A = this chain, B = another copy of it.
Amino acid sequence: MAPTGSARTILSGQDSLRDWQESLYKDFHRNPELSHQEVRTAGVVADQLGEFGFEVHPGIGGTGVVGLLSNGDGPTVLLRADMDALPVREATGLDYASTVTAVDDAGSQTPVMHACGHDVHISTLLGAARLFAEQREAWAGTLIALFQPAEELGDGARGMVDAGLAGLIPTPDVALAQHVLVHPAGTVGPHAGPFLSMADSVRITLYGRGSHGSMPHLSIDPAVLASMVVVRLQGVVAREVQPGEFAVLTVGRIAVGAKSNIIDDHAVLELNIRTYSRPIRDQLLAAIERIATAESAASGSPKEPEFEVYNSYPLTDNSAEATAQVAGAFEDYFPAGAIQDFGRQTASEDFSDVPTALGVPYTYWGVGGTDPEVYAAAEAAGTVSALPANHSPMFAPVLQPTLTTGTAALVVAASAWLGRG
């Protein structure tokens, strides 16, 4: 399989980076920023890349940062990390837990947390970038380190593309990225073909008639209407989608009213759907519209509901060849048992918008972030599903070997193209 001599040389300096990388990680974790607000994070990233000797392009598509490290003739590899955090109130109890709040798009103050592990992505990519910069003799070609904003909104990658990314960088031979997931720290999971789902969000505004809470007969109650829609929607995946087809329909947000005793005149639902096929996606969207419209009629609504589709994510469909090349390198480098099949993921990513726009192959893999002993105990108890997952207020990747493994994975994967052998 792929020889990983270059990677081993580049990674020989990894031990000396450990303290720096952990404190960098904790700093990012303590200072999470919402999508498109990654100003401080992007600043730290740009400073670090500059110190390593990269040619730095900040402010691409808002807060996006691109670093270029040219090291003679050879292939070009793009490594990507995402920088944004989530409006979640951290409940991990970590000593480096976030206590930060920010104003969201709706103008509300909200707690913010790196609940999806993007801080792991930034820290490991910065670690890999530094290692490549420190060991230039071990490889040849060009390394592109891309840090994108707003993955959580699905428009951060597209924003960098729209801002002219293609004109800024040489066309890479391959684009690579990774995500920390609920698997034992120390493991990595490459996966050929569809790996992450398509995703779309739908905002539904349902119309009732406001009244005082004591006069329901004068109102058309949006709380009952919204609840019936949520309940009714459960039948779509349960009864309308062919059994065994992948389809998720989540109602992530319900917002009705401001006070117990005022019946509001509308309700807002925010849904998220996940599919691996466009016909199923279209089936879900049609069912959502059919149900919300009919439930509004059942309530006697004065007005048909409104629908807004947003945060649409592409399918992440890993190149067979690129995945084989990465997997081969992983098998050569990592100890037996470290390569695991993480399986098709229900999550979505906008990473592929970059290679798709550039017309280049890509692969995207998982990196374990859960304490291996905790994971093993949960597996034995059949409670893996109860472990705090991405986006949970309790999501807390164990520092090590998560950071070390994530950094190594990036170096080993990129070296499969850039390495001198």
Contact = CB atoms under 8 A, between A and B. Distances in A.
Interface stretch (A133-141, A159-167, A255-263, A358-366): A255-263
A246 B231 CA distance: 22
Contacts of A199: 214, 261
Contacts of A295: 294, 298
Contact of A252 (B197, B223, B386, B390): B223
Of the four ranges (under 10, 10 to 19, 20 to 34, 35 or more), the interface on chain A belongs to 35 or more
Nearest to A267: B254
A213 B297 contact: no
Interface string A197-239: 1010111000001111111111101011011101111111111
Contacts of A249: 238
A356 interface: no
Contacts of A221: 235, 239, 250-251
A391 B391 CA distance: 37
Nearest to A391: B212
Given A243-B274, A298-B295, A250 B214 contact: yes
5 contacts: A152-B261, A217-B385, A221-B251, A226-B254, A260-B272
A109 interface: yes
Given A214-B272, A231-B228, A347-B212, A247 B243 contact: yes
A215 B294 contact: no
Contacts of A226: 227, 230, 254
Contacts of A197: 214
A416 to B, nearest CB: 29
Given A107-B109, A215-B346, A290-B298, A392 B224 contact: no
A183 B84 CA distance: 50
A389 interface: yes
